[in-house]
A = this chain, B = another copy of it.
Amino acid sequence: MSGKLSRETLVPLLAAHVLEHGLNHASLRPLAKAAGTSDRMLIYHFGSKDGLVAALLEYLAEMFAAALDTAFPAGRVASRRDCIEQVLAITAQPAFQPFFRLWWDIVAGCAAGNRAYLDAAGAIMDLLLGWIEAHLPADDPDPAAAARLVLTQIEGAQMLQAVGRGDIPQAGLSALQS
């Protein structure tokens, strides 16, 4: 076929397929076809399906972090509410939708007790918390608590968005102190 397909060249192709078709329902043969290989080769390179998923989660977390850094303005934001609104505005872009489809798969896996998913999801939340802390106004009376409040609000908004009730968090923002 197209020459050498190593672990490293495979992962981005697999990740693209997973972003488009979901993670929980992804099975070896369609994945292999999407990457131009066989299920046999995926097992060979990653040992097992669990190994493949672990590699994918790691890669996708890096991808998400990179997308975050490039999509957001570098400076600090005017207020807590401003922070929430900016994050929601940018993650509402179509380019982020596949990430969220994947994200809710991962959360469901966490709730079902999947350890690998728990580790990956927790790390991503920590990352996001750090990003928010770095972008909130410097004069906030309690920056640590504010960042946690903002993160919770953002995640709640994204869940409600996912179930078609994005208007609820939007209307709730006016009840939040600046």
**Main SS at interface, chain A:** helix
Within 8 A of B (CB), among A80-118: 80, 100-101, 103-108, 110-112, 118
* Across the A-B interface, the 7 shortest Cβ-Cβ residue pairs: A156-B156, A148-B172, A149-B172, A145-B175, A152-B156, A121-B163, A155-B156
A177 within 8 A of B: yes
Within 8 A of B (CB), among A131-166: 142, 144-157, 159-160, 162-165
Across the interface, which residues of B come within 8 angstroms of A125, CB to CB? 160, 163, 165, 168
Across the interface, which residues of B come within 8 angstroms of A27, CB to CB? none
A50 within 8 A of B: no
